[in-house]
Chain A
């Protein structure tokens, strides 16, 4: 189960991601994030209410970053909870994704 909301703050499109990013929700997550990246040059995924991320969820974030990169846009992962941050760190994703403690706006 995942809940996605979108708002614009100081030039950033902020997509808030709540719940679980797993095989069940990964397609919905990637579709929403990629649409945000297509329509905005700066997109932040607010993960402060994301409880769980699986490999399928990580792939959604990686492919969104890929889409942003190909459009020369910015895509930032913001405020991950400690458990989600641990998964990003274990995967080495901090080396290819922009991950920050708070929102950029």
Chain B
């Protein structure tokens, strides 16, 4: 089974040409941190309440990315809140996307292609080798949003991370997203981790707007 991080990154792969799609660079970085925390929660390593995160078990999961983040968390027990940890991992600037892509390549789901644009600019692409895993993730995401039934835990998490990462327009039309906005918002607020990811994105966008205003 893919991790949440791998599923979110796989959603960002353009199925037509292997390009990486994202509409919101900083939001995606925060979203990927949220996906790692969801993976750790699903593995029974951490738990959260409305504000704080608790480390439950520090034994390794076997996934290098998750174990690195878990070890980092265990080494800094003074950081207590979900928000503080999202900011900590975000500012660490680790290449979560690159690590997930490497794992997807190793699993034979995508391959890595490098080329030159105008003989100078490096262009990286990740064409699908096996399109079934991405179709499966897209289908689960669409079903969770279009249905009125209660989704599985993983699908709630998937919606709540795909939304701030700006990935929903690659699965559903703008009209459908507008029509199901209430449902998307509901699913996006069920989990503390995704609420805090959204808060972090709003705070960052606000800070960026203020700094732009000062520059102008």
Give chain A's interface residues, CB within 8 Å of chain B.
22-24, 52-56, 58-59, 62-63, 65-66, 69-70, 86-87, 90-93, 95-96
Do residues A91 and B190 form an inter-chain contact, with CB atoms below 8 A?
yes
- Decide: A69 near B149, CB < 8 A? Known: A55-B41, A87-B49, A90-B50: yes
Chain B: CB-nearest residue to A97 = B150
Give chain B's interface residues, CB within 8 Å of chain A.
41, 44, 46-50, 54, 56, 149-153, 156, 186, 189-193
Do residues B56 and A23 form an inter-chain contact, with CB atoms below 8 A?
yes
For B151, list chain A residues within 8 Å (CB). 66
- Could you jot down 8 A-B contacts, CB within 8 Å? A23-B46, A55-B49, A63-B153, A86-B50, A91-B191, A93-B190, A95-B186, A96-B186
Complex: A101 Cα to B46 Cα, angstroms? 31
Do residues A23 and B44 form an inter-chain contact, with CB atoms below 8 A?
yes
CB distance from A27 to the nearest CB of B (A): 9
CB distance from B109 to the nearest CB of A (A): 27
Chain A: CB-nearest residue to B55 = A23
Q: Which secondary structure characterizes the binding site on chain A?
A: helix
For A90, list chain B residues within 8 Å (CB). 50
Chain B: CB-nearest residue to A52 = B49
For A95, list chain B residues within 8 Å (CB). 186
- Decide: A62 near B49, CB < 8 A? Known: A23-B44, A23-B56, A96-B186: no
Chain B: CB-nearest residue to A24 = B56
Chain A: CB-nearest residue to B189 = A92
Do residues A54 and B190 form an inter-chain contact, with CB atoms below 8 A?
no
For B189, list chain A residues within 8 Å (CB). 91-92
The answer, among A65, A70, A87, for a CB contact under 8 Å with B50, is: A87
Chain A: CB-nearest residue to B192 = A55
Q: Can you add 16 more A-B contacts, CB < 8 Å, to A56-B41, A66-B149, A96-B150?
A: A23-B44, A24-B56, A52-B49, A54-B49, A55-B47, A55-B48, A55-B192, A55-B193, A56-B47, A58-B190, A62-B156, A63-B152, A66-B150, A69-B150, A95-B186, A96-B186
For B47, list chain A residues within 8 Å (CB). 22-23, 54-56
Complex: A93 Cα to B46 Cα, angstroms? 21
